Amino acid sequence: MSLFHSMNTSASALTAQRLRMDVTSSNIANANTTRATVNEAGEWEPYRRRLVAFQPAQQDFKSFLQMASKTSSSPGQGVKATRIIEDDEPFKPVYQPNHPDADENGYVQLPNVDPLQEMVDMMSASRSYEANVTSLNATKSMMMKALEIGK
């Protein structure tokens, strides 16, 4: 096991959580965007909420073989963001007859973004980021103490 393995694991988590915070910020910023994309019919569609999908960083044959034989020398693999997916939840119809994007009945399709849910996601990503910074600092401190022993 590498001396810097725990630092690499924390670094991968920091990168993943930063992306999650960026996507959540984008969702919050576009919570009222009614013209984000053009659909197949050539009509404007509201912004669609985006989510980040994560998976373990190493998905190679060696890691699966070690896990199956329980001889893994690596306690953790880190994490990576595999893709950003769009939420399929339907748009929210809101009655606003004076809005330029209102239909013939006066309803506007607003994005499927719930600001409360986005704030919860942002707080979760922020806490995960802070926990990984703390882990990184603890690892750094232990390495510094080990170097002091050699003096």
Given a cut of 70, whether residue 94 has pLDDT beyond it is yes
Percent of the chain clearing pLDDT 90 (strictly above): 62
Task: Tell me the β-bridge partners of 85.
Answer: 51
25-84 pLDDT, tens per residue? 999 999 999 998 888 888 889 999 999 999 887 766 666 666 666 655 556 678 889 999
Does the model's pTM come out above 0.95? no
Mean pLDDT of the chain, nearest integer: 88
Res 52: pLDDT: 96
